[in-house]
Amino acid sequence: MSEDKISSISVRLNGANYSYWSRVMKIFITGQGLWGHVTGSIVTPSDKESKTYATDFAKWERENGKFLTWFHNSSESSIGMNFSKYETTKDVWEYLKNMYFESNFAKEYELELSIRNASQGDKSIQEFYNDMTGFWDQLALMEPSDLQLLDSYVKYREKKRLVQFLMALRSQFEPLRGAILHRSPLPSVDGAVHELIAEETRFKVANLSPSSQSVFVTRSCPPVQHLAPLLPIPASHQTQVSGRPRIPVDECGYCHQKGHWKHACPKRVQQTQGRHNSHTGGSSVPRASQPHYRPSAAVAAPTSEAIPSHMLEQFQQYKAFMEAIQGGSSQASAMSSIHSGLHGSNVTGSGIQEADWDRP
């Protein structure tokens, strides 16, 4: 018969795993439609006067022998040797229950201790969740069956498992762990694990970003020192490339007004002319007629007359370059445009020295 070819479970009873073995065996027997042999609802036929007694007894004896064979095949030999003194399936089941379930408190203690000492370590969220699920399932098999029918207990157990799992996570999950614990109502363990796996994936992506970004910047931005020969950078402005600037890009190092640099500062030109006149004994020529005199309005907004055209162009190009650096721009085309513009300027012929750019 086809039903005789069905093999028993693959789990072997060794005593310590009785809770798991009994759960799997119960599922198997129920699937065969023979759980009544264990509960006692299917008993040995006793009415020998019945016309069907012989048939009923043969059926019961065949099914009972099948059970005993399953028990032997799924148990260690040291345990199976004790089955020979029992005649029925119910007797063997009760013996195993009394022998291992009632004395399984040590196993329960071991599981509780394992959960308390559990730690994620270097495991992934999924791997650690699988380990914890194994502990929880074994503990659940030791719980009274009537207790598992109470919704309030099931909710309490789920909340307890969530706390146990979150407590054992690595510190890098602390922000999400705190957010989950402050929710009301609390999510299920499966829901929390789903969020944690997503967060774990985000960590992996974030760890790859810095290296890829640095490569992008390195390839896109030309080194600053390559532009140094083309345009002398004022000493007071040099830290704008590698650190915090001492003064803004477009600020004069002499009068601290914006819109020009020290070499073209009207105040500096005016003061220089005053010192020159005092050294030469003064001049009877009115200030308005002096060739280097500029009205005071030029201090705020110097005109092209005060600044040579090629220097004004250099100033605008350098200002655009520094703003691009401060803004984190990595556009190679923008840098190339500035580079070519600076290269085409007549810097060497201007006669401007570094001292003309610095503060006094």
Please report which confidence band the pLDDT of residue 276 belongs to, taking 50, 70 and 90 as the band edges. Answer: low
Higher pLDDT, 180 or 295: 180
3-state DSSP assignment of residue 244? coil
Query: How far is it, in rounded angstroms, from Cα 129 to Cα 123?
Result: 9
Supply the pLDDT for residue 283: 47
Do residues 128 and 94 share a domain? no
Is the pLDDT at 209 greater than 60? The verdict is no
Total number of domains in the chain: 3
User: Which residue, 43, 68, 101, sits at the end of a domain?
Assistant: 101
Sign of CA dihedral 241, 243, 249, 254: negative
CA atoms within 13 A on the CB side of 60: 20
Tell me whether residue 316 is in a domain: yes
Tell me whether residue 56 is in a domain: yes
Query: How far is it, in rounded angstroms, from Cα 28 to Cα 26?
Result: 5
Tell me whether residue 110 is in a domain: no
Query: How far is it, in rounded angstroms, from Cα 351 to Cα 118?
Result: 75
Expressed as residue numbers, the domain containing 254 is 226-281+292-356
Tell me whether residue 255 is in a domain: yes
pTM of the model: 0.45
Tell me whether residue 112 is in a domain: no
Tell me whether residue 351 is in a domain: yes
pLDDT, one tens digit per residue, over 64-112 is 898 889 999 899 989 989 898 898 999 999 999 888 876 667 788 888 9
Report which DSSP code applies to 329.
-
Do residues 97 and 132 share a domain? no
Tell me whether residue 287 is in a domain: no
pLDDT, one tens digit per residue, over 137-169 is 888 878 887 887 889 999 999 999 999 999 999
Is the pLDDT at 297 greater than 50? The verdict is no
* CB-based burial, 315-343: b 16+ in 10 Å, e otherwise: bebbeebbebbeeeeeeeeebeebbebbe
Higher pLDDT, 108 or 176: 176
Tell me whether residue 44 is in a domain: yes
Do residues 314 and 212 share a domain? no
Supply the pLDDT for residue 235: 53
Do residues 351 and 231 share a domain? yes
Is the pLDDT at 228 greater than 60? The verdict is no
Higher pLDDT, 346 or 41: 41
Secondary structure (DSSP) of 35-93: THHHHTSS-----TTSTTHHHHHHHHHHHHHHHHHHHHHTB-HHHHGGGGG--SHHHHH
Mean pLDDT score of the chain:
74
Supply the pLDDT for residue 327: 59
Do residues 85 and 123 share a domain? no
